[in-house]
Amino acid sequence: MIVPLDRAREAEFRAIVDGKAKPPGALGRIEDLAVRLALITGRPDPRCDRARLLIFAGDHGLNQSGVSAYPSDVTAAMVATFLAGKASANAFARAVGCDISIIDAGVAADLPPHPHLIAYNIARGTANAAVEPAMSFSQLDQALKAGAGLAKSCNAELLAIGEMGIGNTASAALILHRLAPAPLDDCIGLGAGHDAEGLARKRAVLHEAAARTAATEPREVLAEFGGFEIAMMAGAVLGAAEARVPMVVDGFIASVAALAAIRLEPACADYCIFAHRSAEKGHAILLEALGVEPLLSLDLRLGEGTGALLAIPIVRAAAALIGEVASLDDVLAGRL
């Protein structure tokens, strides 16, 4: 069960932050984040030391219709790169002191067993959403349950979600179109690097997919257009909220998963910290639809959880502000 934040304690936690050895409001939005972390955890000294990034990987049947500039084989190749510790996400995770779990949500390849690979393969990629539903409701429920279970079993004080899946900006654009809602063309971006011809092809395929179904209910939309990695990320957001663990949300695709989770369970919005404003077209629309301001804006559009990782030190700093900084009263009384 997801419990909305207890706003009755907001004034208490705000007074603690305002009473620190600094002018009230001097640390801007970090002060708001500190209060929210206290509300999420129910503690005036929230801890965010044990952080874990969950990277969900999956392939998309939409790629059969040419929605990506890259073949689906790249998904499995990047999973191998994560497991070798050589991807951008690995480097950033080492830089900020965050653990990583790699989850095979639905990669369209045989992935050899690896001690750091969690095998939850629902199927070898989704069906082609341009011609049929991407997944069954049974597969969707499997993915949501797996993601929630992973989030709740991590024993982390701070969670983050990222993804890898060739074609997943196409899937995310369709989900955003229905769940924001927003005009489809406004939701379609360059993805991994289309030229003008590739973008036109992607747009035509997505209009074909959108014309196939009028789905607007969140579970229907995820089943019709989602990827297994997107559905598992949505489940992870739900699981983190149920466990009262703050969830740092990466860029466009991870944010679409969070949007789906919020449409399913509105209370989980309280537990989501949006890391950055992606350069991918559509992300600004999503953030506006949710009424949120991300922590960073660095023109990132890689995915993998890279933006979420860069935001983790900010989240930790906010927790340290409310939990560790001396009060002005103590400073003036010499009680240090």
Span(s) in the chain for CATH 3.40.50.10210: 51-314
In which residue ranges of the chain is pLDDT below 70?
A: 193-194
pLDDT value for 196: 78
Name the burial class of residue 9, with classes exposed (0-12), middle (13-18) and buried (19+) by CB atoms within 10 angstroms of its CB.
middle
CA distances from 277 to 55, 126, 176, 252, 257 (A): 19, 27, 15, 8, 15
Of the candidates 132, 293, 304, 324, the residue annotated as catalytic is: 304
Are 50 and 158 in contact by the 8 Å Cβ rule? The answer is yes
pLDDT value for 74: 95
pLDDT value for 198: 78
pLDDT value for 68: 87
The fold adopted by the segment(s) 7-47+320-333 is 1.10.1610
Catalytic, 288? Answer no
What pLDDT digit, counting tens, does each position of 25-66 carry?
A: 999 999 999 999 999 999 999 999 999 999 999 999 999 998
Averaged confidence pLDDT in the chain: 96
pLDDT value for 315: 98
At residue 195's C-alpha, the angle toward residues 191 and 198, to 5°, is 75
pLDDT value for 37: 98
Are 170 and 206 in contact by the 8 Å Cβ rule? The answer is yes
What pLDDT digit, counting tens, does each position of 141-155 carry?
A: 999 999 999 999 999
Which H or E element spans position 289? helix 283-290
Span(s) in the chain for CATH 1.10.1610.10: 7-47+320-333
Please report how many Cα atoms fall inside a 13 Å half-sphere around the Cα of residue 238, on the Cβ side: 24
Query: Which residues neighbour 22 within 8 Å (Cβ) at sequence distance 6 or greater?
Result: 325, 328
Q: Which residues on neighbouring strands pair with residue 53, listed in sequence order? A: 100, 160
Considering the entire predicted model, what is its pTM?
Answer: 0.97
CATH architecture observed for domain 51-314: 3-Layer(aba) Sandwich (3.40)
Are 311 and 317 in contact by the 8 Å Cβ rule? The answer is no
Which H or E element spans position 97? none
